[in-house]
């Protein structure tokens, strides 16, 4: 998959793409790959906690939408020149405790981050999918884009390359994907 076939600053449903292919494409373009599996998250707080853990946000991350935006934009900008971002949010909750409004507010943060990076001519592509948690009914008017999985799916399997994949970053993200690990960029300064 070539990232050139996807608009450089967009937030869209993952549908035709696989996380593994997006990760390979990000690595090939020397861009950060950020992956968060949100299966099982029940509310906004849990979604934000999982994103913070997956993206290695600093401990002071306030677990609200404003600080999510700050981490996706200003914190990464302070880290230095960025080649681009490919973000995957898999299995966003789709039920009454994380309803359509909550999902749209979350996705709006990523849309605003895409605009922020577009102004700096830096690609920021965010892909997402929905799931319905078992035992929770969907809110009226909500419809899942993907069927619930019988069991949590394992992270994408990739072959470890010689250029330093770190399995501690989840989904074997390349070491460069830790733009939000402030200790790393502060020590480099």
> Tens of pLDDT along 24-42?
999 999 999 999 999 999 9
H or E element: which one contains 15? Answer: none
The answer to whether residue 119 scores a pLDDT higher than 90 is yes
The answer to whether residue 16 scores a pLDDT higher than 70 is yes
63-108: per-residue pLDDT in tens? 899 999 999 998 888 888 889 999 999 999 988 888 899 999 999 9
Q: What's the pLDDT at 156? A: 53
H or E element: which one contains 70? Answer: helix 65-70
Question: What is the rounded distance in angstroms from the CA atom of residue 169 to the CA atom of residue 3?
Answer: 22
Alpha helices in 82-136 (DSSP H): 100-119
Architecture field, domain 3-135+163-188: 2-Layer Sandwich (3.30)
What would the mean pLDDT of 112-129 be, rounded to a whole number?
95
130-182: per-residue pLDDT in tens? 885 444 444 444 444 444 444 455 555 544 444 444 343 444 333 344 455 54
The answer to whether residue 189 scores a pLDDT higher than 80 is no
What would the mean pLDDT of 181-187 be, rounded to a whole number?
46
**Other CB atoms closer than 10 Å to residue 26's CB: what's the count?**
28
What would the mean pLDDT of 12-25 be, rounded to a whole number?
91
Confidence of residue 15 (pLDDT cuts 50, 70, 90): confident
Strand order from edge to edge, sheet including 85-93: 9-13, 124-131, 85-93, 32-37
Domain boundaries, the chain: 3-135+163-188
If one compares 183 and 95, the residue with the highest pLDDT of the two is 95
């Amino acid at each position: 998959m070539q990232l050139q076939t996807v608009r450089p600053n967009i937030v869209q449903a993952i549908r035709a793409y696989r996380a593994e292919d997006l990760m390979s494409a990000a690595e090939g373009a020397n861009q950060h790959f950020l992956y968060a599996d949100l299966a099982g998250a029940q509310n906004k707080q849990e979604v934000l906690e999982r994103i913070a853990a997956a993206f290695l946000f600093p401990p002071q991350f306030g677990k609200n939408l404003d600080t999510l935006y700050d981490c996706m934009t200003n914190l990464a900008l302070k880290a230095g020149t960025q080649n681009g971002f490919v973000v995957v949010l898999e299995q966003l909750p789709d039920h009454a405790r994380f309803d359509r409004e909550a999902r749209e507010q979350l996705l709006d943060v990523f849309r605003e981050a895409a605009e922020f990076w577009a102004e700096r001519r830096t690609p920021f592509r965010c892909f997402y999918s929905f799931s319905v948690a078992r035992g929770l009914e969907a809110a009226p008017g909500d419809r899942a884009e993907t069927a619930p999985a019988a069991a949590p799916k394992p992270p994408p399997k990739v072959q470890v390359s010689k250029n330093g994949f770190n399995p501690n970053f989840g989904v074997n993200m390349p070491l460069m994907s830790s733009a939000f690990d402030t200790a790393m960029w502060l020590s480099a300064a």
